Structure 1
Amino acid sequence: MLDIKVVELHKEDEVGGKNGKELFFSRYACGPLLGSGGFGSVFSGQRVSDGQQVAIKQVPSDRVQQWARLPGELRPVPMEIALLQQLSDVGGHGGVIRLLDWFEVEGLGFLLVLERPPQCQDLFDFITERGALPERFALRVFRQIVEALCFIHAHGVVHRDIKDENIVVDTRTLEVKVIDFGSGASLKETAYSEFEGTRVYSPPEWIESRSYTAVPLTVWSLGVLLFDMVCGDIPFERDQDIVKATPTFTRRVSNECRSLIGWCLSYQPEDRPSLEEILSHPWMQRGGEEEEEEEEEEEEAGRTLPSPSL
């Protein structure tokens, strides 16, 4: 664990990275573990200079799946760093987590210093605590995710692991950010033959032929995610259910929302919409009209969500 190894490191030890001669531990203080996964662990942290709260992602070198080259760097870096730097270099986007700094530390691997939004919670926990979201809230969140993905794709990156755990929500404002580019890749029009994302969010073509293209993969994952938001759980758990591509709705969902989910979860990749077509779908154009039944459900559940205008 990072917080244990930090004690063992000496401040005289130099680190690599874009601030090669800077000392990581003179610039950042590490806090407790926030979470861990297949590619690394994430800790809370603080920037020493101004007290800014950050997230510090530790990625051991032996867990890096893909490497990339950055201008001015002699050694390759994890693809995740290169992709986040690529998005940062064009100005970033409010819906995409921002890479603030990165270092290579002997014995720890790579340390990514990321912005940490205040009062944030990942969408998995958000849904677990509140249950299925009223459509007006799901719409607010989903639109932001799609717009962020439009930016990501427009600048040559594909995320490849869109799921509720990789979306963080500001619980006060419902503003969202896409996080964790550890499974990401450079965007291309030809097919991919490797996949490090989450299987229950993967499309039928990956299950059946171990091949997929970027936009249909992303859109399928968005269909699973939207179903998850409005029904409270994902539609498919088994491979045989994924390839059937016929979700069973467990809650009452509007016809327009069902239509969009069904379109995203089309069996044939070419039948799925583009991200731009998702944004122009009638459900996405509802404009925030609040249905009485949704308000009643919210009151009964005792939710304390804000009521932003869409």
Structure 2
Amino acid sequence: METRDTELHLKEEARGRYVKEPFHRQYVWGPLIGSGGFGSVFSGQRLSDGQQVAIKEVSNDRVGTWTRLPDEADPVPSEIVLLQRLTEVGGHRGVVRLLDWFQVKGRGFLLVLERPPHSQDMFDFITERGALPEHLARRFLGQIVDTLLFVHAHGVLHRDIKDENIVVDTKTLDVKIIDFGSGAPLKETPYSDFDGTRVYSPPEWILTGSYRAEPLTIWSLGVLLFDMVCGDVPFGSDVDIVRAMPDFPPRLSNGCRSLLRWCLCYEPHLRPSLQQILSHPWVEGGAEEEEEGS
């Protein structure tokens, strides 16, 4: 019913920044493939060349932050602006690419995104396989950190790094970061708003309602790494987050524990930078071992 209803609405006039033809003349609308607080995502296909796409539908009442574009009369979701910024500078293999966007009168916004082949979000990837071996977690973490360095270098902060927002190509084991709906422009001063996921949020947000960009990102990466190597997130409540004392299974290597403790340090200023994660012995040494063995 939802797909049929949506198709009817899409016959209304729609527009996008670079698009003259309405959505329904350029894309075929497919079945629902995911939904959550961010909106709903459907499969789709571009009529001109048959390319498979993902169509993210976001109703106006689910938009957290609005931004004005120079050539648009009405404000648009900040997610569009952030993704457009990353696309305009050439994009990155680790960031989902925004192909198009449309505003549908009385409906909200449609974001047309690339849809990687053989893709599965990391939440499902871990659910099916259980805790990942350290060499695979290392591979994923390295790609994600490299991508975040690009994202931050171009003035964008994701603010919701978690397993559900990482898509894995199950054939190549390459990953992409998706869903910038909680994102914001990067700044050096503290943030006092947060639309990300509570169990991935740092102690300073729980206690003071404030945080800085990189310490937030590093803490979330620590939670994600723990999730990868242990099969679940380390903290289930605000009390656990503030204690910042994860329980490690005995099988974890000392190097992995060392990096996890550093990323999940209670004091924000004592956490590593993104670059320091890449140069940590567990990441750097492991990557060298894998190169030698290939």
TM band (smaller chain): over 0.9
Higher deviation after alignment, 104-113 or 265-274: 104-113
Aligned counterparts of 1:210 and 1:61: Cα–Cα separation in 2: 26
Q: Secondary structure at the match of 2:287?
A: coil
Cross-structure match for 1:216: 215
Contact 2:132 2:230 in 1 (8 A): yes
Cross-structure match for 1:304: none
Cross-structure match for 1:5: 5
Contact 2:155 2:185 in 1 (8 A): yes
- Displacement of 1:10 in angstroms is 6.5
Q: Secondary structure at the match of 1:144?
A: helix
Aligned counterparts of 2:170 and 2:206: Cα–Cα separation in 1: 35
Cross-structure match for 2:276: 277
Cross-structure match for 2:77: 78
Pair 1:15–1:5, CA change in 2 (3 A): same
Aligned counterparts of 2:276 and 2:178: Cα–Cα separation in 1: 23
Cross-structure match for 2:155: 156
Cross-structure match for 2:135: 136
Aligned counterparts of 2:144 and 2:219: Cα–Cα separation in 1: 14
Aligned counterparts of 1:308 and 1:128: Cα–Cα separation in 2: 31
- Displacement of 1:23 in angstroms is 1.0
Aligned counterparts of 1:122 and 1:20: Cα–Cα separation in 2: 30
Contact 1:79 1:184 in 2 (8 A): yes
Contact 2:168 2:176 in 1 (8 A): yes
Residue type matched to 2:7 in 1? V
Cross-structure match for 1:90: 89
Residue type matched to 1:41 in 2? S
- Displacement of 1:287 in angstroms is 2.3
Cross-structure match for 2:247: 248
How well do the aligned residues superpose, as a CA RMSD in angstroms? 1.7
Residue type matched to 1:182 in 2? G
2:162 paired with 1:171 = no
- Displacement of 1:19 in angstroms is 3.4
The alignment covers a number of residue pairs equal to 293
- Displacement of 1:208 in angstroms is 0.3
Aligned counterparts of 1:139 and 1:8: Cα–Cα separation in 2: 46
Unaligned runs of 5+ in 2: none
Contact 2:39 2:57 in 1 (8 A): yes
- Once the two structures are superposed, the pairs formed by residues 226-305 of structure 1 within 5 Å of their partners are 226-285=225-284, 286-287=286-287, 289=289
Identity of aligned residues (%): 67
What's the TM-score once normalised by structure 1's chain length?
A: 0.91
Any runs of at least 4 consecutive aligned residues in structure 1 with deviations exceeding 3 A, and if so which?
307-310
